Amino acid sequence: MWLKNYSLKRSVYRELFESDPINVQYDTDREFTSDERGCGGIREAEIQCYNEFWYFASWINKLYEKLQEPIRLQELRDPLLRGSAAMDGPAFGRRYDIYYNRRKIGYLEVCASLIPRYERDGSVHVEIDLSHIPPRVLPFEDVYGFLSVVASLVVSVEKQSPRFANTTEYQDALLQIDRAMLGAVWQITEETSEIGRSLEITFSGRPDHYRELAHVQDQGRGDPKT
């Protein structure tokens, strides 16, 4: 069992492994208003990306509910990013707490690409941070599966990676996932038997798959987003 050599508070263990998933609260119709567009230096690309990703958490949660697996995304109303996208000043996008059953294990943020590609090809920047608990207390397949699902939505399986020739954005993302998870293992030392305290990863690419899913949902609603 993956927890054999690790200790968790009993309350944390119960929230992770002896509880049901949280009841997610949705506010998918939330969009930037005309008043918000003129304040705080919000870029038009950030507004467009925010409005476009109204269906992101809903789709992921429906998938995990169908699979009867414990991961859920709870969207936060505050669009002011806290991660790497905000290092050079205020940045705005969709923000989510990541839950494993009833325990918050990290956060996810999605916004328009940090370099001005959103206006040209609609590329986005996604950051995932699993640091509220040591991620290695969770089953490997759950963490890897979640990262892979997110990557499949937010990067292209056809567009070439800007970093590697003959490699798609999605193939590049999978390489990044492998590196991040290997890094979590690498943090362990025989001398201390400590486990990696966090796992951080970013993806940048064109969210072709997500856009297809959102378009289908828009048509079913009869209320396409603009």
pLDDT confidence band for 67 (50 / 70 / 90): very high
The model carries a pTM of 0.88
* 224: Cβ contacts below 8 Å, ≥ 6 apart: 215, 218
* Contact partners, residue 102, CB within 8 Å, separation at least 6: 15, 16, 19, 20, 21, 22
Q: What is the pLDDT of residues 109-158, one digit of tens each?
A: 999 998 776 777 899 999 999 999 888 899 999 999 999 999 999 999 99
Helix, strand or coil, per DSSP, at residue 97: strand
Which secondary structure element, helix H or strand E, spans residue 31, and what is its range? none
User: Residue 191: what pLDDT?
Assistant: 42
Identify the weakest region by mean pLDDT among 15-19, 199-203, 221-225. 221-225
Give the C-alpha separation, 198 to 146, whole Å.
15
Give the C-alpha separation, 103 to 20, whole Å: 10
DSSP state of 195: -
Tokens for 89, please give them: 């000043």
What is the distance of C-alpha 40 from the center of its chain?
24
